[in-house]
Amino acid sequence: MADLAIDPRIELNPTLVQGGMTYADVSEKISAITENKPPKQWYYLITISSLMTVMLFGCLGYLVVTGIGVWGNNNPVGWGWDITNFVWWIGIGHAGTLISAVLFLFRQKWRTSINRAAEAMTLFAVACAAIYPLFHTGRPWRAIYWLFPAPNEYLHLWQNFRSPLEWDVFAVSTYGTVSLLFWFTGLIPDLATLRDRATNRVRKVVFGILSLGWRGSASQWRHYELAYLILAGISTPLVLSVHSIVSFDFATSVIPGWHTTIFPPYFVAGAIFSGFAMVVTLMTVARWVYNLQNLITIKHLENMCKVMLATGMIVGFAYGTEFFIAWYSGNAYERFAFLNRAFGPYWWAYWTMLTCNVVSPQLFWFKKFRTTPALMFIIAIFINIGMWFERFVIIATSLHRDFLPASWGYFKPTWVDIGTFAGTIGMFLTLFLLFLRFLPAIAMSEVKGVLHQQIEEGKGNH
Amino acid sequence: MAHTHSQETDAYFVPLRTWAAVRNAILFVAVLGWIGALAGYATDPEHFFWSYLVAFLFSISIAIGAAFFVMVQHLTGSAWSVTVRRLMEALMRTLPAFLVLFAPLPLGLHYLYEWSRAGAAKDPLLKLKIGYLNEQWFTIRGFLVIGLLSLWALVLYAKSRKQDDSGAVRLTLSAERWSAPGVLMLFVGSSIVGFDWIMSLNPRWYSTMFGVIFLAGGAMAFMAVIIVLCLWLRSNGYLVHSVNTEHYHDLGKWLFMLMVFWAYVSFSQYMLIWYANMPEETIWFKNRFTGSWLYVALLLVAGHFIVPLFAMLPRAVKRSRGALAFFAGWLLLMHYTDLYWQVMPVFYKSGFGMSWLSPVCLVATVSTMGLVFWSSFREKPLVPVGDPRLKQCLAFHNA
């Protein structure tokens, strides 16, 4: 294969495992994170994030005993931060499946070092997202009857299957289930590695059970790879369907600013945009704390920056199209809704959104910004903020100007809104830190597959 | 990966005599097509312009799809597609011809577009849009978008051709740099022309998704054309080894994927309008479900999505050249049907209708495109022989 080696500048197969790491180094480096005591930064972070999680439970408890009036939701703004946060979290959950499934089908080898953590993020983000609609019902213990078609004599309820909110329940729970299966399937060979390396009984038993009797035989690998491919095929349409259905929550209505046909693909692009921003936010930090520079290389980060640039442009394109068609429609309500977005009482939210989502990713045109972790971390934070504001702008600005001026209003968050939102960030970070501590954060077996190819091509690391 | 020797066994050049024979055949068809089209224009300009619009849209959507795909290949640094990329580039290179093919449209605006007729300025809704929907701007926008697309097409084609001789890696990198803003321009441009050329036929109606649907349909049709072209060349003994089953498998996956994407965006548009049920929006579909148009709509649902969805899903279908040829041809027909169904109900209001000029105009525009396409291969290789990723492409295998 050495004759395929050509000018390194076009990177036919970029060196994705650097620093001359061997197979053993890969296992050692990644397993050691779960086997040794974590660095002190980990303790600082989890202390803060657990306290925030406690605050989340406090806020939710207060909401349950008092009622959802403790949120700032009002009439006409019946959906406030709750649905904003729901959509934001679901969006963040999109990078995992995109990296694992879509990039797998596109044979993008650079996915291998980041897919595991991104999938874990997906699961945690979906968990955070689920809190909001569940607690918006006010009585979450009854939500099973409202959300799922569970037979009951208790409330004599039957779900409204014509409602996109109901479709959402199925879309998100399907997505969560498939993502979990996909994540776990990918983990099996790595869990077996941890089992085989275990030096104490507890680890041996726990990882022994979790690795489902994996022996690494050729037939097991064959089945495993087929299962992985099929799961990737099943997950790929889910990347599109979940956020399309989330967008239906808005777009099936007749509210100016919500009812627009470009919503489904625009929401999907936005979801991928925000998902990658969150992956970059967390992975640049994890890479630095755990010294993973040889596995999560600048090439990985640069590719993620390019994805953010591309999806950011699609989002910007959708903003532009919406604005143009609002004018083109000649419809006074459409025109008002969009002018009001930009220059009405929520102008500050709109321009924050535009600056963070459309202006800041333009910096990724410059290689310097795509290859400097500190800079991309900052831009990724901006994108996280921008994508939150996007949902807030869509929800609040379209609702606060009702059709009758007498019903106009304004949404102000309460301390419970803020506490709940900050709390879910804490819960997300806590879960992610626990994941880093106890499970292999990088897919060892897949990285070794990439390394194998690299060695065959003569970029060997023996 | 034992296939690296295969490149020696393929001829990358079409002998001049064969080339000239094919050129003459296309030229003959083109002359016939244009004679017919001109006769139609002279005798029945109204039918001519409606037929010509659909034929023009069908052809240019394929060329735009080609430009889109070539740029995406550069941006992703794809190796699998190198041996088919020159065919894609040659299709993309037909874009400048559309500066000429577009020229008749501004002459027939009054036949096609309600907003260009006398009453529009007095219509309370249309007068709000007159700043955008007017003859001058429509013409300028059309030439501007095609002109910009042509510029990118010519630059990228020139770089690729230059690399045939020099093999310079720098040209690959420079094509990549051109492609990033190029894709952006293409998205905005094709969206604008989608609004202008098709959506404004119903000037009161609007849908933000419209430009995306136009691009999606064109990209799918382009992929179908590439498959048909590869198979045609193969049946004549060209690209037998360099475009092998692995490449056809990938082309088939792309065709499938773009077909599904078209269905996704088209369904989203329909679903949201149906669900909200506002008369000013549903009218677009209502007109297209009138009389026998309903059957055309149902044909699109079945033939442009449901049947190929299940039929093309098995791996064996995408790896079978016969089956792939059938579905590529079928989906091209469906793409034409899709555009016809979007455009023609404005003219044939009560139900499906077709003039003899529809096939004639289609022959005229497609054969013109074919002439430009084929001119790329006069003593020039069918494959970008200087591409640094060529060897990798020849050795490529589906996992």
DSSP-based three-state secondary structure for A185: helix
Q: Which of A237, A315, A179, A250 is nearest to B264 (CA)?
A: A237
Could you say which of A11, A259, A313 has the minimum Cβ distance to residue B77?
A11
Q: Which of A262-271, A365-374, A450-459, B161-170 has the lowest mean pLDDT?
A: A450-459
Residue A221's Cβ-count burial label (10 Å; 0-12, 13-18, 19+) is: middle
For A64-106, the pLDDT digits (tens) are 999 989 999 988 998 999 999 999 999 998 888 888 888 888 8
For B235-264, the pLDDT digits (tens) are 998 888 888 888 999 999 999 999 999 999
Please report where in the chains the tokens 């776990």 appear, as a residue: A184
For A164-188, the pLDDT digits (tens) are 988 998 999 999 999 999 999 999 9
Could you say which of A107, A251, A254 has the minimum Cβ distance to residue B399?
A107
Measured between beta carbons, which residues in chain B are less than 8 angstroms from residue A252? 271-272, 275-276
**Residue B124 structure tokens:** 């309370």
CB A4 within 8 A of CB B382: no
Domain coordinates in residue numbering, chain A: 23-134+147-453
Q: Per this entry, what is the length of chain B?
A: 399
pLDDT of residue A109: 80
Domain that holds residue B205: 16-394
pLDDT of residue A5: 44
For residue A76, is the peptide bond before it cis, meaning its omega torsion is within 30 degrees of 0? yes
* Number of domains forming the structure of chain B: 1
**What number is the average pLDDT over the span B106-116?**
92
What is the pTM assigned to this prediction? 0.92
Could you say which of B125, B207, B212 has the minimum Cβ distance to residue A265?
B212
The verdict on a CB contact (< 8 Å) between B268 and A329 is no
Question: Can you list the alpha helix ranges (DSSP code H) found in B44-134?
Answer: 45-76, 82-92, 97-102, 104-107, 109-112
Rounded CA separation A97/B158 (Å): 38
Q: Which of A290-304, A356-370, B381-395 has the highest mean pLDDT?
A: A356-370
Measured between beta carbons, which residues in chain B are less than 8 angstroms from residue A10? 77, 169, 172-173, 388-389
**What number is the average pLDDT over the span B41-57?**
95
The verdict on a CB contact (< 8 Å) between B275 and A252 is yes
Measured between beta carbons, which residues in chain B are less than 8 angstroms from residue A317? 184, 187-188, 191
Rounded CA separation B331/B300 (Å): 10
Share of chain A above pLDDT 90, in %: 55
Could you say which of B4, B208, B212 has the minimum Cβ distance to residue A260?
B208
Please report where in the chains the tokens 């939701």 appear, as a residue: A73
Measured between beta carbons, which residues in chain A are less than 8 angstroms from residue B208? 260-263, 318, 321-322, 325
Rounded CA separation A223/A144 (Å): 36
Q: How remote is the C-alpha of A87 from its chain's centroid? A: 11
CB A342 within 8 A of CB A353: no
Rounded CA separation A69/A443 (Å): 45
**For A23-134+147-453, which CATH superfamily applies?**
Formate dehydrogenase/DMSO reductase domain (1.20.1630.10)
A259 close to B (CB below 8 A)? yes
**Residue A357 structure tokens:** 């989502």
Task: Please give, rounded to a whole number of angstroms, the shortest distance from the CA of A269 to a CA of chain B.
Answer: 13
HSE on the CB side for A213, CA within 13 Å? 1
pLDDT of A460 strictly over 60? no
Measured between beta carbons, which residues in chain B are less than 8 angstroms from residue A331? 280
Rounded CA separation B375/B366 (Å): 14
Measured between beta carbons, which residues in chain A are less than 8 angstroms from residue B389? 10, 12
The dihedral formed by the CA atoms of B112, B114, B115 and B120, expressed in degrees to the nearest 10: 150
The reply to whether B8 falls in a domain is no
**What number is the average pLDDT over the span A372-376?**
92
The verdict on a CB contact (< 8 Å) between A6 and B212 is no
The verdict on a CB contact (< 8 Å) between B207 and A265 is no
pLDDT of residue B1: 39
Could you say which of B191, B265, B276 has the minimum Cβ distance to residue A259?
B276
Residues 273-332 of A with CB under 8 A from B: 313-314, 317-318, 320-322, 325, 328-331
pLDDT of A458 strictly over 70? no
The dihedral formed by the CA atoms of A350, A270, A96 and B187, expressed in degrees to the nearest 10: -150
- Find, in chain B, the residue whose alpha carbon is nearest to that of A328: B129
CA dist list (Å): A404 to A53, B221, B396: 41, 47, 63
Query: For chain B, what is the mean pLDDT?
Result: 92
Q: What is the ipTM of this complex?
A: 0.90
Helices (H) then strands (E): counts for chain B: 18, 0
Confidence of residue A292 (pLDDT cuts 50, 70, 90): confident
Residue B237's Cβ-count burial label (10 Å; 0-12, 13-18, 19+) is: exposed
